Amino acid sequence: MTAKRFWLPILLVVFGLFVVSCGSGNKEAATAAMKAAQDSWNAAKGEVVKYIPDQAKGVDDAIKGAKENFDKGNFDAALETAKVIPDRVKALAAAASAKKAELAKSWEEMSGGLPKMLEAIKSRLDILSQSKKLPANLDKAKLEGAKGGYEEAAKMWEDAKAAFAGGNLTDALAKGKTVKEKAAAVMTALGMEVPAAAAPAPAPAAAPKG
Amino acid sequence: MAEEEKKQGADAWDATQWHVVEKGETLSKISKKYYGDPNLYMKIFEANKDVLKNPDLIKIGQKLRIP
């Protein structure tokens, strides 16, 4: 009886120390995992947000969830959430890099092709401006509209190039796409043939009836 | 292969305007068709000096650039 009284508090203290020790170990592991997760995300976030923004929120949410668990003392849950984040970030970084390469290729094609379209339009407008009579498919209002369309497209192309020079590839491509559409519309109005790369996609065929 | 793809890509952006000469056509007629003014035929001649030596001598089937 005396021995039991003697050993019970000691056992409780030892058990308590064991629990605290285990908890402390999980806390350290969770802290390290969260730091690794945050560091990997900090390194990749810029490109991911820039090129695949819709997928960035998932990582932000996961890091936030890990932090919330950590703050509540749920170190195991924090660890489980945090430890998979670096791999997820690695996959997203690769996807962002692939998207960047794809956009860069599109820009390369566009920046090689659009100036040719603008040049062809300018050449035709210059000659038509010297003409004493317009061709059958063109009237004065249409010609003025085409001139205005060309000016807008040429100005926007300068903006697109500036966006690219400033490192904003997505914006540069969006502007370039608008230039392409405007230039194609002007060429059509002038009775010129639109290059295949800028021709509007054909309308989908109507579904057969019955 | 990559070079071929590049070439195809570049061709898809080619904005050169062409006209294939038909029977009875002259540079003046072609000029009138595209510019509304037959007197601008020299613009077409200048753009095709690599294939035309004389603005009065064009051949049926000849492919001409229309600037």
For chain A, the DSSP string reads: -HHHHHHHHHHHHHHHHHHHHHHHHHHHHHHHHHHHHHHHHHHHHHHHHHH-GGGHHHHHHHHHHHHHHHHTT-HHHHHHHHHTHHHHHHHHHHHHHHHHHHHHHHHHHHHHHHHHHHHHHHHHHHHHHH-SS--TT--HHHHHHHHHHHHHHHHHHHHHHHHHHTT-HHHHHHHHHHHHHHHHHHHHHTTPPPPGGGSPPPPPPPPPP-
Cβ A157 vs Cβ B54: under 8 Å: no
Q: B15 and chain A: CB distance < 8 Å anywhere?
A: yes
* Mutation choice for A interface testing from B16, B33, B35 by most A CBs within 10 A: B35
More confident position, A56 or A202: A56
| Whether pLDDT at A4 is above 80 | no
**What pLDDT does residue A29 have?**
94
Q: Does A112 contact B17 at a Cβ distance shorter than 8 Å? A: no
Q: Is B67 on the interface with A (CB under 8 A)?
A: yes
Q: Which of B5, B11, B16, B17 to mutate to test the interface with A (most CBs of A within 10 A)?
A: B17
User: What is the rounded distance in angstroms from the CA atom of residue B56 to the CA atom of residue B64?
Assistant: 14
Q: Do A130 and B13 touch (CB under 8 A)?
A: no
Does residue A3 lie in a domain region? no
Q: Where in the sequence is the domain holding A28, given as residue range(s)?
A: 19-83
Worst-scoring range by mean pLDDT, A1-10, A118-127, B55-64?
A1-10
- A19-55, pLDDT tens digit by residue? 555 556 789 999 999 999 999 999 999 999 999 999 9
Mean pLDDT of chain A: 90
Q: A62 and A110: one domain? A: no
Please tell me if residue B36 touches chain A, with a CB cutoff of 8 Å: yes
| DSSP state at residue B52 | -
Which pLDDT score, from 0 to 100, does residue A25 have? 72
Nearest to A133 among B12, B17, B37 (CB): B37
Is the pLDDT confidence value at A208 over 90? no
Based on the fold, state whether residues A78 and A52 are members of the same structural domain.
yes
Task: Among B15, B32, B39, select the one facing A117 at the smallest CB separation.
Answer: B15
Interchain pair A135, B35: CB under 8 A = yes
Q: Is B37 left (phi over 0), alpha (psi -120 to 50) or beta?
A: beta
In a domain, A74, yes or no: yes
pLDDT for the residue A206: 66
Give the pLDDT score at A67. Answer: 96
**A195's tokens:** 């290059």
User: Inter-chain contact A138–B36, Cβ cutoff 8 Å?
Assistant: yes
Closest CA to A135 of A182, A192, A184: A192
User: What ipTM was estimated for this complex?
Assistant: 0.87
- Top pLDDT among A208 and A83 is at A83
What pLDDT score was predicted for residue A210? 46
Dihedral pair phi/psi, residue B63, rounded to 5°? -100, 115
pLDDT in tens, A63-104: 999 999 999 999 999 999 999 999 999 999 999 999 999 999
DSSP B36: S
Name the pTM for this structure.
0.78
Looking at the structure of chain A, the number of domains it has is 2
The percentage of residues in chain A with a pLDDT greater than 70, rounded to a whole number, is 86
A38 in a structural domain: yes
Tens digits of per-residue pLDDT, A155-179?
A: 999 999 999 999 999 999 999 999 9
- Residue-wise pLDDT for A126-159, tens only, equals 999 999 999 999 999 999 999 999 999 999 999 9
Query: Is the per-residue pLDDT at B1 higher than 50?
Result: no
Are A79 and A128 within one domain?
no
Name the burial class of residue A129, with classes exposed (0-12), middle (13-18) and buried (19+) by CB atoms within 10 angstroms of its CB. Answer: exposed
Residue A162 is assigned to a structural domain of this protein = yes
In a domain, A195, yes or no: no
Please check whether residues A107 and A167 belong to one and the same domain.
yes
Q: Residues A182, A109: one domain?
A: yes
